[in-house]
Amino acid sequence: MAQFEEVSQKSAVHPKPVGLVLQYGTAGFRTNSKQLDHVMFRMGLLATLRSKKTKATIGVMVTASHNPEEDNGVKLVDPMGEMVTPAWEGYATQLANAEQEELLTALKDIIERETISMAQEASVFVGKDTRPSSDSLSQAVLDGVHALGGHSKDYGLVTTPQLHYMVCCQNTQGRYGEATVKGYYRKLSQAFIQLTKNVPNRTDDQKALLVDGANGIGALKVCEMETYLKNELQLSLFNDGSSGKLNHLCGADYVKVQQRAPKGVEMTAGERCCSYDGDADRIVYYYSGSAGRFHLLDGDKIATLISTYLKELLTQAGLDLQIAVVQTAYANGSSTQYLEDTMKVIVRCTKTGVKHLHHAAQEFDIGVYFEANGHGTVLFSKAAEEKIQKLAQDSNTNDERRRAALLLQNTVNLINQTVGDAISDMLLIEAVLAIRGMTVQQWDAIYTDLPNRQLKVKVADRRVIDTTDAERRTVSPAGLQEAIDSRVKKYRQARSFVRPSGTEDVVRVYAEADTQESADALAHEVSLAVY
Ligand code: 16G
Ligand code: ZN
């Protein structure tokens, strides 16, 4: 078929280095950008097939998130803006690893297994982050799409969550919003302004926020959005990409893992600051306390703030909707305890990786999910959205209930439900703080984090470690869990687990305990047990 001839010809321009094997991991393919040209071309092919199969628009995002600037990566986005299904992750790996002469066979194999009609039209949205390599790599994706006769729309520089949003808007015929970057700004800023407009006496101090853009795409996009916010939020942007290197000594991952302020942010005591990661799908907050002590408000604190706010509104609105918080093993023990014992909300723990959390959150009327690293969002079931909307429009209801319902409705509009979104999360957090009249210190004081430590250990083969119970316990190698248990017993309020990383060739170790010294010592002892 002519189509396949074109694939053959074009693929020769994007040759695969012989013997190179890559894996579609937790966040797609991710490695040094020099190894990715053929992968990008092939993901263009695969996205086109996926689009034919689902008869919907598929997204391809070129980014390596918080990884160093030299790396790059690619992720496929399914029709409703969610991560691609496991079977197709498998196809992605097969296609990426097929040697040059096996490519057509691999492609035809997928077409056959999925009974794809090649006559079906295909549409693929492509986006990229600000890495120097992203230009040519996204071009390779487009080459792949066109080689199979697919239609493409190149959004150019967008955040990862913006691309997810576009895909969802497109496939819901605009019901979720308009599939343009401007449409995204308009929807979010209108919701934010509606939410905050009746908050009495918001001072300039309360409107001020310091933002670390990680020298990445988030910085660019939040600048574009600022005019839409009509001074209701006054951002001071640092690490805007004009001089510093992407993710270098800055960004959400650096701040969370190092537990310190990013380079280049001039913060005075008590000021609210936040950091995005390199593709703006994560956010963490922090401030400098008295005596310059650094205080981090991570994904767990964000989930707590948001779920507390939502629960209060549901009570005021008199809406009987079930709310749950989904976390991973990395969630600080204090947060879980607070949510379960004080807030009395359902808490679920899943494996690391957005798709697992997202999936679990879909089971509730309202599912708030956040990884401790700051990736998260809120999902509302269709029924929940309808109930909220109905009440907001019901002129017979009393003022308090109606007010709560209107706040809930605008909250729904402010949230990017497709995936964690630093910009949307930031606006939501700012709105919640304003509505509840809370300072960042008061937010921080909701509960006190247990001191914790994360380490990584290089081992010969990280795959020998197998975990269970949402990665909280190991089942192999034999004896490892017992070794961890015996070390944990020596400390107070202690917990520790190990898991093979899905994005790096390392084993990750997490430990928490009543003091930082104990958490550090426990993490160290457990990492020795991993060898
Ligand atoms: C990826 C995941 C993130 C997870 C991280 C864990 C997505 C979109 N991203 O970045 O959710 O926290 O991997 O990395 O799923 P690790 O397996 O190396 O610890
Ligand atoms: Zn990211």
Report residue 427's pLDDT band, with 50, 70 and 90 as the boundaries: very high
Q: Which of 192-206, 319-333, 375-389 has the lowest mean pLDDT?
A: 192-206
Do residues 285 and 321 share a domain?
no
The answer for residues whose C-beta is within 8 angstroms of residue 447's C-beta and 6 or more apart is: 304, 334, 335, 337, 338, 342
pTM above threshold 0.95: yes
CA dihedral 378, 384, 387, 388 (to 10 degrees): 0
Do residues 31 and 149 share a domain?
yes
Residue 1 has what pLDDT? 59
**How many distinct structural domains can be found in the chain?**
4
Q: Can you state the percent helix, strand and coil of the chain, rounding each to 5?
A: 45, 20, 35
User: Is 65 annotated in the active site?
Assistant: yes
Residue 425 has what pLDDT? 98
Distance CA 430, CA 231 (A): 13
Do residues 119 and 257 share a domain?
no
Consecutive H or E run containing 44:
helix 37-54
Q: How far is CA 257 from the centre of its chain?
A: 16
Ligand nearest to the CA of 284: 2
Q: Is 503 in the pocket of ligand 1 (CB under 6 A)?
A: yes
The closest-lying atom of ligand 1 relative to the alpha carbon of residue 66 is 10
ipTM: 0.98
Report residue 3's pLDDT band, with 50, 70 and 90 as the boundaries: confident
Q: Is 439 contained in some domain? A: no
Distance CA 447, CA 307 (A): 14
What CATH number is associated with residue 488? Answer: 3.30.310.50
Q: Which of 273-287, 411-425, 455-469 has the lowest mean pLDDT?
A: 455-469
Q: How far is the CA of 422 from the centre of ligand 2 (A)?
A: 9
Nearest to 209 by CA among 267, 159, 278: 267
Domain boundary among 297, 321, 353: 297
Do residues 291 and 320 share a domain?
no
Distance CA 76, CA 89 (A): 9
Do residues 273 and 336 share a domain?
no
What are residue 59's DSSP bridge partners? 77, 125
Do residues 8 and 90 share a domain?
yes
The closest-lying atom of ligand 1 relative to the alpha carbon of residue 373 is 12
Most confidently modeled range among 105-109, 256-260, 289-293: 105-109
> What average pLDDT does range 180-200 have in this prediction?
96
Report residue 387's pLDDT band, with 50, 70 and 90 as the boundaries: very high
Do residues 370 and 516 share a domain?
no
Q: Is 43 contained in some domain? A: yes
Q: Is 435 contained in some domain? A: no
Do residues 132 and 257 share a domain?
no
Alpha helices in 293-381 (DSSP H): 299-317, 333-337, 354-361
Do residues 319 and 400 share a domain?
yes
Q: Is 48 in the pocket of ligand 1 (CB under 6 A)?
A: no
The pair of three-digit structure tokens given for residue 502, joined into one six-digit string: 């899905």
Q: How far is the CA of 370 from the centre of ligand 1 (A)?
A: 12
Distance CA 120, CA 149 (A): 10
Q: Is 495 contained in some domain? A: yes
Q: Is 164 contained in some domain? A: no
Q: Is 501 in the pocket of ligand 1 (CB under 6 A)?
A: yes
The pair of three-digit structure tokens given for residue 247, joined into one six-digit string: 């993710």
Do residues 286 and 304 share a domain?
no
Domain boundary among 297, 317, 342: 297
Domain boundary among 266, 297, 328: 297
Q: How far is the CA of 268 from the centre of ligand 2 (A)?
A: 27
Q: Is 482 contained in some domain? A: yes
Q: Is 112 contained in some domain? A: yes
Nearest to 325 by CA among 296, 305, 295, 353: 305
The closest-lying atom of ligand 1 relative to the alpha carbon of residue 354 is 15
Q: Is 333 contained in some domain? A: yes
The answer for residues whose C-beta is within 8 angstroms of residue 526's C-beta and 6 or more apart is: 483, 484, 487, 496, 498, 509, 511
The residue contributing the CA closest to ligand 1 atom 3 is: 353
Do residues 489 and 389 share a domain?
no
Nearest to 75 by CA among 25, 150, 140: 25
With tokens 């006190």, the residue in question is: 448
Do residues 16 and 146 share a domain?
yes
What CATH number is associated with residue 388? Answer: 3.40.120.10
| Residues of the domain holding 198 | 183-297
